[in-house]
Each structure stands twice: as C-alpha cells, then as structure tokens.
Structure 1
C-alpha cells in the first residue's frame, strides 16, 4: 500500500524517531546537483532555449565563481540533458561552461512504450554524440563513453504502476550494457515510482521480465566490490520535515529538490545530513545528491541568485566555525569516484581520486 506515492513501510521508517548525529572527528560532505536540464520546457523554440542556456553560461561564473570548497574549487553542476530532444547548439554552450571548470553534462531521457533494443540504440548514439561532437563524457574501460543517467518522469526500469513513460522491463540491464556508471533518478517521492530503498547508495541488478528491479538492492559498503552486472544507484535525501507542517499537523516531504519556492538553506542542510546517505563503514563521508530543473526561469532565479549564494556562504561559515566540517562541490561522476574509493578502503578524500 502507498500513501501519496510512498510505500507505507517507507513512511514508517521516515517517521521513526531518531537523530543520526554526525560522527566525532572530521566529517566530509560531498554535494552534487543533478539538474534535469530541459531548455525546451514549455515547448520553447530554439531561440528561447539558447536564451536559457546563455543565462547559465553568463551568470554561473558571475554569481558562483568566487565561492570555494575545501579543495579550493568552485561549485560544480551536472546537467542531465534530454537525449530525445538533442540540439547541438545549446549542448555546445553547456560544454563550454563545463570546459572552464563548472560542471559536466550527462544523459537524461524521456521515453514511452519503448523497447530494450531501441533504448540501447538511443543511449549508445547519444553518448557517442556527446563524446565525439562536444568532448563530453569519459571513455569507459571498454573504450566506449561512460555516462550518468536520470530517467524522465521518474519511471526508471518501467516502475510506474501503469507502465507509462518507459516500457522497458529490465532497463537496468540495458543501462549497464551501454556504459552507465550510475543512476541519479531517486528519490522520486511523492511519485508512485519511489522505491522501498531510501537514503541509500546501493546496487541493483536487472531481472529479465521484472520491472522495478531496483526497489531493493545491496548497500554500498567498505571492502565490498560490486559485480560488473550491478548498477550503482545514488539516492538523494528523503525525510519528513516536521518544521514545515501541512495544516499545522502533517509534516512536509523533504526530497532534495531545489526550485523557485524552495531554495537550499541551513535548515535543509541539517535534514540532508541527517538522512545519512553514506557508504556503510565510512559514515564520516556524507553524500548529498540534490536535484532540480534548472532551465526553468523561476528555478534559475534561485540557483543563480541570492538564495544559493547565501547557502554557499553558510557552508563556508560552518567550516570556519568547525574545522572538522569539510565540504566539497562535486559532479555526479566525481561523486561516483569517491563512492568507489570509499568501497576500496580509502579513509581520507583527496582531489587526486577524481582524476
């Protein structure tokens, strides 16, 4: 049974009284923003798409370029660009922003009533285009481009109850076969595609003929190396926010989304940290994967404006007040490298791990 898209056992878990305090000693917080970046939103013509992209290219360095994390790097942004509406001009402008050190571009996809063979062709073709035409992505162990993924409409692995907005059972297997290094779709609550796994970094394996194979999985853990056929899923925070009650009674849902009416803040940071998304055995490394739809003007106002600048200043003040609090701006690919480093037993995060 579900309540507004969330399994009841998940609601019970989120509602359980607990406070996950940060471990004593140094704590390392890695922050990534997975932007479902859709400049064509609202049916925008190419001219308007370019205006939206140019705003990011111009304002991102102006607004955020002077902030620095504990590695001395500025905020970094991951643009998940929709494969089904690819336009070379806006992607090339985003590629420019990435080349000067402000982020990376990965793959987003909306599809419906699809097949595994067509999905495989779509992903391979778009990954090759990003790599060969724009110098984006990286080469995987097999020489093909490797990519991060966000599923459109939250319907990863055909997980909607009505089967819409995907159509491919065992989509996880297709992602692994086409070079996906990790999925960053979740959490999706209050959408009914939400998994029973929450606040987790974990691995799931596609099962032939079975949809939503990622509803459960094996958590990432120090000393355990995953099998090559398993897909890494990095979830963002999911929590009940009792300080924002509906009708004065029911708590609001905190799912790590940044939008025009809900900017990042110190109060939200506390919830994200308390969600405790970690690699088991390395609890002093906290992974905060947020999400947004940054091409929309009202969201860009927040992401490129005062509220986000205030948030970065808050991070700096927290570090200056407590030298054990360390924060790092990372892309989703960089976050994945840190996860694998933790799994291999690395105890101290180093910038060299990202090269």
Structure 2
C-alpha cells in the first residue's frame, strides 16, 4: 500500500511538473518550435575554414510610434552620421565594412529619408530593401503597393536591382508585425493567404522575417534556409518547406533565410528558465561575445555546405531606446569580437554581407560552387546602383551615377 501511495505521489508530481512546463512554453509560444529545437542535429564538423556570412537586417521605421517630422528626421540623420563612423572602423576578410540592410516600410515612404539612406549605401555601408505593414489587405492592393514602391526605390533612389536575365526588379522582404502569409492566429496585420505566391510573382528573391519568437507567428521550421510552397487556401504556408541544398534547385514559391533561434542558458529567469535567443539586437538585448558565439554555433547553412555559415540578426533601428546600443559601444564591440574571434583566416573567415549578397551566396552553394563566398556576392543578382561603392564600383552620389 505504501508503495502504491508513493507511486501515486510521484505520478501526481510528474503531472504537475509537466503542466507547469507546458504553461511556461505556451506563455512564450515556445510550443511552436521547441520540438524542432530539441530534434536538431549539430552542424557537421568540417576540416575546412568556416566562412561566416554576417548579415544585419533592420526593420527601419523612421515614423515609429507616430513621431513628428523633426523626430523622424533626427532618427535618419543620426543613423547616416553615426553608422558611417561606427562601420568605418571595421573590416571583414575582404576589406569591406559591416553591411546594414535597411528594410524600409512602404507605408512610411518619404523621399528625403530614402535619399539619405541611398547616400549612406552609396558610401559602401549597406543596401535598401522592402518592408511592409498592412492589415486586412487585398491581393489587388498588395500588388499595386509593392509594384509602385519597388519602382520608386529603383528609379528615384537607385535601390533594388534588376534581374539580368528577366529584367524584372528584385527585392528582399520583411513582413511587418512578423505576419508573413497571414500567419497570426487572429488574422490581423496581413489578410492574404497567398502572400508567398504574390511575393514571388512581384520579384521577391527571399524573405528575411524569421525568427519572430516569442511571437505566435513563429514557424516550426527554425535555423534553416529553405523554400516554402504556398497553399492559397490556408495561412502560414512557410511553417515548413524544402531545405536549400547543394545540387538542388529552386522549389516552391519563396526562399526564406532565417536567423538563429534557440535557448540562452546564460540568461535565466529565476536562475532556472533559459531565455529565448532570437537574434534580436536592441537596448535590452545588447550583443555580447556569448551571443555571437551562439549565433555562429547554430550553424545555419545550405545543406551540404556546412563550412558556409549564415548569421542573420535583426533590429528595429530607429527606436530611441535602442540607438545607443546599435550605434554605440555595444555594436562596436560586437564587430571587434567578430573580427578577432571569427576572422583568423585558418579556422574562420568573416564576410559582412547584405541581404542580397546572402541570397546570392546561398544560391551559389546550391549550385555546388566552392571556394571563397566573397566571389559570389553578385552571383545571381547584381548590386543596385545605390551600393556601387560598396562593391568596389563607381562611387559618388546617386545623381552623379544617374547622369553617368
């Protein structure tokens, strides 16, 4: 009898423990992806130097929180001044400074701000891509909005390239509020179930939204570069897909290049519960050597090419609470650590890449190409006019190049 009572107590405690764990997982929406994290296989060990493609993407929103024009202008001006100063002190193995990919919101378009960002990019510090916040949208309006914005970015600001084969404008994409393909359970902040198809048809070369944890829009597929196929009858078609692999080919509707997602055991709640490492850099989540190590160790790569590691981190660059981190000592120290720990030329080789360059290098890996990824920065899609200086081409202002 005593043994039965003891067993019942143990089972009851186990049930309570399981319930508590489940509640903790649900409170951060971790049940969506924790299974994939626990089933992950460590990256293959390679005796070749590991090339680290470091890609910083920015949900760049000058009008955030309904700011007045003076505040908006101050945000953009601070970035254009201080990022030059910060990035100008750093170089990767190829002699290039850090590349910042500014995903600018279509609904916040202001020519003045894009002109200034285009000049920053022309000086060799990044590229401009497409960001969008929308709600209860329609296919017709989505097509019109993206088409118009891409044309303006290209014709007015020298951003986003033309495909050398098809001649169409090509762009990278980040979805506002993380809600790619109508992925929020309540249907807010999108409204379109065939968004992946539409993006492909409009010229999107890859999506860079994920990871979105702890949001409930997070996919079960994590730490991957993969193709997603759209089911126009259902939302969140990018929840899983086909990995991009050496010797493979484009499949589905859209490539997704994800950033690292996992658990940070160094930062624990109550000293027990690990925090989520979601590759977000901001004032409350400053970069650190430990975080950088975790990002690299995650080993996001094209299957069959483990020695090419992609580290895509993200931020919201125009929020005042975060700008001292993004433009100051913490990010400066992050780049110094990257250049010290991951650029010795023997074990690691560091490459600062834009979103477009990350895509090109992934496509080169898919095609079976080897060697130095630097050689494939423009493999499929050329650099846009506004980043010519960053690619070692003609410099000068956008107006100078347009007149050339």
TM-score normalised by L of structure 2: 0.84
* Equivalent residue for 2:172, pick from 132, 140, 148: 148
Task: Provide the rounded CA distance (Å) in 2 between the counterparts of 1:270 and 1:20.
Answer: 14
Give 2:182's aligned residue.
158
Give 2:391's aligned residue.
none
Deviation at 1:6, TM superposition (A): 3.4
Q: Out of 339-348 and 44-53, give the one that drifted further.
A: 44-53
Task: Provide the rounded CA distance (Å) in 2 between the counterparts of 1:286 and 1:191.
Answer: 25
Give 1:79's aligned residue.
102
Structure 1 position 315 matched with structure 2 position 338: yes
Q: Which has the higher strand share?
A: 1
* Equivalent residue for 1:347, pick from 353, 360, 370: 370
Q: How does 1:101-250 map to 2 (within 5 A)?
A: 101-140=124-163, 141-227=165-251, 230-250=253-273
Task: Provide the rounded CA distance (Å) in 2 between the counterparts of 1:21 and 1:302.
Answer: 34
Asked if structure 2 preserves the Cα contact closer than 8 Å seen for 1:237 and 1:289, the reply is yes
Q: Which structure 2 segments of 5+ residues have no match?
A: 1-21, 379-404
1:7 and 1:264, CA in 2 relative to 1: closer, same or farther beyond 3 A? closer
Structure 1 position 328 matched with structure 2 position 351: yes
Asked if structure 2 preserves the Cα contact closer than 8 Å seen for 1:201 and 1:220, the reply is yes
What root-mean-square deviation, in Å, do the aligned CA atoms of Structure 1 and Structure 2 show? 1.8
Secondary structure of the 2:65 match is: coil
* Equivalent residue for 1:100, pick from 100, 123, 126: 123
Asked if structure 2 preserves the Cα contact closer than 8 Å seen for 1:278 and 1:285, the reply is yes
Structure 1 position 47 matched with structure 2 position 64: no
TM-score normalised by L of structure 1: 0.95
Task: Provide the rounded CA distance (Å) in 2 between the counterparts of 1:259 and 1:127.
Answer: 28
Deviation at 1:128, TM superposition (A): 0.5
1:143 and 1:169, CA in 2 relative to 1: closer, same or farther beyond 3 A? same
Secondary structure of the 1:232 match is: strand
Task: Provide the rounded CA distance (Å) in 2 between the counterparts of 1:17 and 1:285.
Answer: 18
Rg: which structure is higher?
2
1:92 and 1:8, CA in 2 relative to 1: closer, same or farther beyond 3 A? same
Asked if structure 2 preserves the Cα contact closer than 8 Å seen for 1:5 and 1:194, the reply is no
Secondary structure of the 1:139 match is: coil
Q: Out of 237-246 and 17-26, give the one that drifted further.
A: 17-26
Asked if structure 2 preserves the Cα contact closer than 8 Å seen for 1:83 and 1:109, the reply is yes
Q: Out of 37-46 and 333-342, give the one that drifted further.
A: 37-46
Task: Provide the rounded CA distance (Å) in 1 between the counterparts of 2:41 and 2:311.
Answer: 19
Secondary structure of the 2:170 match is: strand
Secondary structure of the 1:258 match is: coil
Secondary structure of the 1:138 match is: coil
Deviation at 1:241, TM superposition (A): 0.8
Asked if structure 1 preserves the Cα contact closer than 8 Å seen for 2:93 and 2:343, the reply is no
